[in-house]
A = this chain, B = another copy of it.
Amino acid sequence: MSFNTFGHLFRVTTWGESHGPALGATVDGCPPGIEISEEFIQVFLDRRRPGQSKMTTQRQEPDQVRILSGVFEGKSTGTPIQLMIENTDQRSKDYGEIARQFRPGHADVTYHQKYGIRDYRGGGRSSARETAARVAAGGVAQAVLKALVPDLRITGYMVQMGAKHIDRARFDRDEILRNPFFIPDADVVAEWADYLDAIRKGHSSVGAMIEVVAEGCPPGLGAPIYAKMDSDLAAAMMTINAVKGVEIGEGMAAAALSGIENADEIVMGPNGPEYLSNHAGGILGGITTGQPIVVRFSVKPTSSILTPRRSVNTAGEEVEVITKGRHDPCVGIRAVPVAEAMMACVILDHLLLDRAQTGGVRGRIG
């Protein structure tokens, strides 16, 4: 990773500000000959798109992706793929106050301190709109993975929103894309909607916990010691706006376990080793085991709220800040497709790294 680029070999550089003419992703290192289309990528973008319900920001953005390079006659050529999304709904308004004030919980103050200048319109570069570019890049990664690892399936969903937790006994994967919260349980959707609505009407917001699982990932991906699959996943998730914690498998709960409990015992299955549990979350020593990769991360509550909060302005004067505008009361919701995109990029990146070093050949067992 370097500044605005992530990935070792499948390298994604995002660019663009919330209220500039466009934003996008420059994707380098894509394998050639892969079927990629704007339509395929658009499906992922549509999941993240704002303005779809009152649960997410009312900003209306079609978020139409255009492929400007790197794809020829429907297939990737191996050269950089430029994905551009034009910003269309940049409401003209008076930015006078926001230009001078620092919104608590936002990067306004740190951008100002670091750069001495910032595009204050809608948060500029630090806006969650940047994640649209990631989702587009993730669409490219998904297209490549579909060709190279057809059995791989990446699924993200919400497991907690404020005081609400899902009941894992009622987990229903088919429900995830049918409700605006990406909850794997149809029965609680109405309840969670009311809960969130009350928070919004109370001029507040709420945090969330997201889980992303990759099933069908082959063993052997990852690389000790500093390009581990888990450290790359942790970094990838932590780069998503508002994320404050990341865990793999048992995660933070591992601190309370004993070694006897935590051991994932192994037996021999018809196609190789099988594990009797998955406390490890699919990764041992930074390398995939072939079990599902399980990642969870927390998203802090939206910092833009209508309740006044104390802050200062560029002149060093104390002010009260109320953040009006079109804001998600739970930014964690739209983090779901973003996290899926990041996981797709990381897994593909490691697939390429692995075939570079090992040729993709696996050490045999049995």
Give 27 CB contacts A-B under 8 Å: A1-B8, A1-B232, A2-B8, A3-B80, A29-B356, A68-B84, A104-B264, A105-B280, A107-B285, A109-B284, A110-B286, A111-B285, A111-B287, A113-B362, A114-B219, A125-B225, A162-B255, A205-B259, A206-B257, A207-B254, A250-B300, A251-B298, A252-B252, A259-B303, A259-B305, A259-B307, A263-B303
Interface residue? A318 (CB, 8 A): yes
- Those of A271-315 within 8 Å (CB) of chain B: 272-273, 276, 279-281, 283-290, 298-305, 307, 309-312, 314-315
The answer to whether residues A257 and B300 also contact, given A264-B105, A357-B9 and a CB cut-off of 8 A, is yes
Contact A299 B235 (CB under 8 A): no
Contacts of A250 in B (CB 8 A): 244, 298, 300
Contact B231 A1 (CB under 8 A): yes
Partner of A312, one of B262, B266, B284: B266
**What's the minimum C-beta distance from A249 to chain B, rounded to whole angstroms?**
6
Contacts of A130 in B (CB 8 A): 225
Complex formed: what's the CA distance from A162 to B204 in Å?
36
Interface residue? A58 (CB, 8 A): no
Partner of A265, one of B126, B232, B268, B311: B311
Interface residue? A119 (CB, 8 A): yes
**What's the minimum C-beta distance from A344 to chain B, rounded to whole angstroms?**
16
Closest A-B pairs by Cβ, 5 of them: A316-B366, A107-B285, A245-B247, A205-B259, A116-B363
**What's the minimum C-beta distance from A19 to chain B, rounded to whole angstroms?**
10
**What's the minimum C-beta distance from A348 to chain B, rounded to whole angstroms?**
11
Interface residue? A152 (CB, 8 A): no
Contacts of A279 in B (CB 8 A): 300
Contacts of A75 in B (CB 8 A): 117
Contact B114 A354 (CB under 8 A): yes
Smallest CB-CB separation from A102: which chain B residue? B266
Task: Count this chain's copies in the assembly.
Answer: 4
Interface residue? A150 (CB, 8 A): no
Contact B358 A32 (CB under 8 A): yes
Interface residue? A334 (CB, 8 A): no
Complex formed: what's the CA distance from A366 to B113 in Å?
11
- Those of A31-61 within 8 Å (CB) of chain B: 31-33
Interface residue? A90 (CB, 8 A): no
Interface residue? A21 (CB, 8 A): yes
Interface residue? A227 (CB, 8 A): yes
- Segment at the B interface, from A10-18, A168-176, A177-185: A10-18
Q: Per-residue 0/1 for A83-104: is the Cβ within 8 Å of any B Cβ (1 yes, 0 no)? A: 0100000000000000000101
Partner of A266, one of B310, B329, B355: B310
Interface residue? A70 (CB, 8 A): yes
Contacts of A82 in B (CB 8 A): 15-16, 22, 24
Complex formed: what's the CA distance from A90 to B123 in Å?
38
**What's the minimum C-beta distance from A229 to chain B, rounded to whole angstroms?**
9
Contacts of A253 in B (CB 8 A): 298
The answer to whether residues A16 and B234 also contact, given A4-B225, A113-B220, A314-B365 and a CB cut-off of 8 A, is no
